[in-house]
Amino acid sequence: MINFTSFPNLKTKKLLLRRIEQNDVHDLYTMRKDSRMHTFTDTKVDESIEETNLYMDQMNKGVDDKKWLIWAIEHKQSKKVIGTISIWNLNKDEKSGELGYGIIPAYQGQGLMQESLLSVAEYGFEQMNLEKLLAYTEERNEPSINLLVKCKFVEIGRVDEQGYTNKQMYRLVVYQLER
């Protein structure tokens, strides 16, 4: 389903969305060790830079195996990686994919994730030929819900999901954007 000869770099007014590179490890570690990044997800804080390296290797292997696309979100002005955004959980039959995203707290509330999400959605529809994109977000994650609504996603359901890492129940709101 994912067909590309070189990784698809995407440019917005303020951002460069590109493949995760080894020299991003410190920026990604800063993001992944921040407990605020894990408040509404079943993920754990990276306790060492080695854990971030393992994460990066796993993400890039998935890209190489054409299981998903994950972009580092590089802030053009600061040249720092401030987050990630991905299309994963691809379903060929339904021509759908799921979005995953996160941006460090210092850059939240500035419209940067909206720029990223709209660019990735356009790529998903125009280049990957997807018909719909899904996003699951915890019902208490108001900034994520507001982002999805601003980007014209529509709520299509709710699901309860038992966390494996944090052993808690998550109440997820399911949003969808159609081509």
Q: What is the pLDDT of residues 6-21, one digit of tens each?
A: 899 999 999 999 999 9
HSE (CB half, 13 Å, CA atoms) of 163? 16
Does residue 39 surpass a pLDDT of 90? no
The per-residue b/e assignment along 70-100, b for 16 or more CB within 10 angstroms, e otherwise, is bbbbbbeeeebbbbbbbbeebeeeebbbbbb
For the chain, the structural domain boundaries read 10-130
Report the pLDDT averaged over residues 144-151: 96
Instruction: Provide the 8-state DSSP code for 67.
Output: S
Instruction: Provide the 8-state DSSP code for 11.
Output: E
pLDDT bracket for residue 154 (50, 70, 90): very high
CB 9 within 8 A of CB 16: yes
Name the CATH topology of 10-130: Aminopeptidase (3.40.630)
H helical segments located in 13-69? 25-32, 49-64
What is the value of pTM for the model shown?
Answer: 0.93
What pairs with residue 72 in β-bridges? Answer: 18, 84
Does residue 4 surpass a pLDDT of 80? no
Q: Which pLDDT belongs to residue 163? A: 64
Helix (H) or strand (E) holding 82: strand 80-91
Rounded distance between C-alpha atoms, residue 168 and residue 138, angstroms: 12
pLDDT per position as a tens digit, 55-113: 999 999 999 999 999 999 999 999 999 999 999 999 999 999 999 999 999 999 999 99
| More confident call, 159 vs 36 | 159
CB 155 within 8 A of CB 174: yes
